[in-house]
Amino acid sequence: MKNFLKIFFLILFLFGIPFKSHSAEKVEYLKTDWSFKGLFGKFDRSSLQRGYQVYTEVCASCHSMKYLSYRNLGEKGGPEFSEGQVKAIAASFEVKDGPNADGEMFLRPGKLSDKFVMPYENVKAAQAANGGAYPPDMSVLVKARGGGVDYIYSLLQGYEDAPNGMILDEGVHYNKYMYGKKIRMAAPLSEGLIEYGDGTEATIEQMSKDVTTFLMWAAEPHLESRHQMGFKAIMYLIILTILVYFSMKRIWSRVETEV
């Protein structure tokens, strides 16, 4: 058993090394209490719904989310809009479909099974409309950035006037959390920019938190079931390990060596 503990600590030690190496050159991000962290972490349903509102009213004009479908908005573990709400959301978008019997492409209202409609036809069109910078797809954005949710949350609130002596090109903005501190995106949020359906006050901080929560769900739609299953799986393993430990003791008591 002593040996085993040593191995266990060695494993922890070994995994400690890569963590440190990743965090070497990081700026301090703004912190907030994320409801989805921890062993039983779950999404805050109303925050997800507000986050979707921020995404669709603010971000979606430039940022696509091409791996999500409208049906996802009603699925368990997500914003859990009612079926009627999701259908209404989907129908509010025009989807290009076809070709029809005449060989023509046509527009029709969105359905649950449609993927989120993209703001631009393709990457080139997106770049052309945004001064050469491509607004990244947001489907897995929080997993594609080193600081994850804390980074996105901070970035949205990190716009400041550039320090004296720093010259910014046309269309470039100063953001203290951005890699290199220069960002093409203008500050997307401002106080009271949107009106929340549930009456929550739309501060920059609130909107940042809500939309980041939404982005986390978009990147990890099965996070809740993962946490639930993980707890059960690990409890099961621990109980089984204890049982096997005592069986092992029993069996090895037949030979004198200590296990």
Give the interface with another protein as residue ranges (CB under 8 A): 2-4, 6-8, 10-11, 14-15, 17-19, 21-22, 24, 39, 67-68, 72, 136, 139-140, 143-146, 148, 179, 219-222, 226-227, 229-231, 233-234, 237-238, 240-241, 244-245, 247-248, 251-252, 255, 257, 259
Residue closer to another protein, measured from CB, 8 or 106: 8
Pick 11 or 168: Cβ nearer another protein: 11
> Which residues touch 194 (CB under 8 Å, ≥6 apart)?
53, 54, 57, 58, 202, 207
Q: Which is nearer to another protein, 88 or 144 (CB)?
A: 144
Cβ 72 vs Cβ 221: under 8 Å: yes
**Closest separation in Å from C-beta 30 to another protein:** 18
**Residue 45 tokens, joined:** 């349903």
Q: Which of 59, 48, 69 is nearest to 197 (CA)?
A: 48
Q: Which is nearer to another protein, 3 or 164 (CB)?
A: 3
The alpha helices in the chain, defined as continuous H runs, are 2-22, 45-57, 83-91, 123-129, 148-156, 204-219, 223-252
Taking the complex as a whole, how short is the minimal distance between the CB of residue 246 and another protein, in angstroms? 10
Least separation in angstroms between CB 201 and another protein: 32
Q: For residue 243, which phi and psi values (nearest 5 degrees)? A: -60, -45
